[in-house]
């Protein structure tokens, strides 16, 4: 009888521990301050955009669609539209290099094959050649070309949103509400 009670107490203690650990972890993560973003990202003025390419699956899909450099071309256009950085044609003239790539990793489990198209962006400092930050953004797959283009644009938009949050406003440009102007 004593052995059954001891076993029950151990089970109860284990259950309390399993419940308490996630709660404590959740509380700790809320209290953890965000790690700093490398200051070079916010301070940069000039960026070179590097086409880090696509894996075999993505390259084949882009070639079939008639635009082999689709990820690079669309990212470059989005960067021009943003205007946060001056885009330069030579990496030696840049403060940072943005390496854009597109991959379609394939996962096979039992009889199911799944694809996870995604953008990847490495931000590299030109002086040290160290990667300062990496961003990834999934792109939902599609069977129809129109749906694919919509999903591709959405994934690129999400990547640009991530980059804008990371980079912050242009150096020397006062933060002001959108639509307002300085005189």
**64-95 pLDDT, tens digit each:** 888 999 999 999 999 999 999 999 999 999 99
In this prediction, the residues of the chain whose per-residue pLDDT falls under 70 are 1-30, 171-183
Q: Are 101 and 109 in contact (CB under 8 A)?
A: no
Report the predicted TM-score, pTM, of the whole model to 2 decimal places: 0.76
The answer to whether residue 173 sits within a structural domain is no
CA distance 95 to 88: 10
Give the angle subtended at the CA of 168 by the CAs of 167 and 174, to the nearest 5°: 140
The answer to whether residue 72 sits within a structural domain is yes
The answer to whether residue 97 sits within a structural domain is yes
| Number of domains forming the structure of the chain | 1
The answer to whether residue 132 sits within a structural domain is yes
Give the angle subtended at the CA of 91 by the CAs of 89 and 96, to the nearest 5°: 110
Q: Are 154 and 117 in contact (CB under 8 A)?
A: no
Q: Kindly report the CATH number assigned to the domain that includes residue 95.
A: 3.40.50.10610
Domain housing 53: 45-165
Q: What is the pLDDT of residue 178?
A: 47
Q: What is the pLDDT of residue 69?
A: 95
């Amino acid at each position: 009888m004593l052995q059954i009670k001891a076993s029950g107490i151990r089970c109860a203690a284990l259950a309390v521990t399993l419940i308490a650990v996630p709660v404590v972890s959740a509380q700790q993560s809320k209290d953890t301050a965000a790690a700093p973003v490398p200051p070079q990202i916010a301070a940069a003025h000039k960026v070179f955009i590097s086409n880090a390419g696509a894996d075999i699956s993505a390259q084949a899909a882009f070639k079939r669609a008639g635009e082999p450099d689709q990820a690079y071309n669309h990212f470059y256009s989005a960067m021009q539209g943003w205007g946060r950085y001056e885009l330069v044609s030579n990496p030696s003239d840049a403060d940072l290099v943005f390496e854009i790539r597109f991959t379609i990793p394939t996962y096979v489990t039992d009889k199911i094959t799944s694809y996870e198209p995604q953008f990847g962006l490495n931000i590299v400092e030109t002086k040290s050649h160290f990667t300062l930050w990496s961003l990834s953004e999934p792109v939902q797959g599609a069977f129809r070309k129109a749906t694919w283009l919509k999903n591709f644009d959405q994934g690129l938009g999400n990547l640009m949103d991530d980059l804008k949050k990371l980079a912050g406003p242009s150096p020397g440009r006062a933060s002001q509400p959108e639509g307002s102007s300085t005189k």
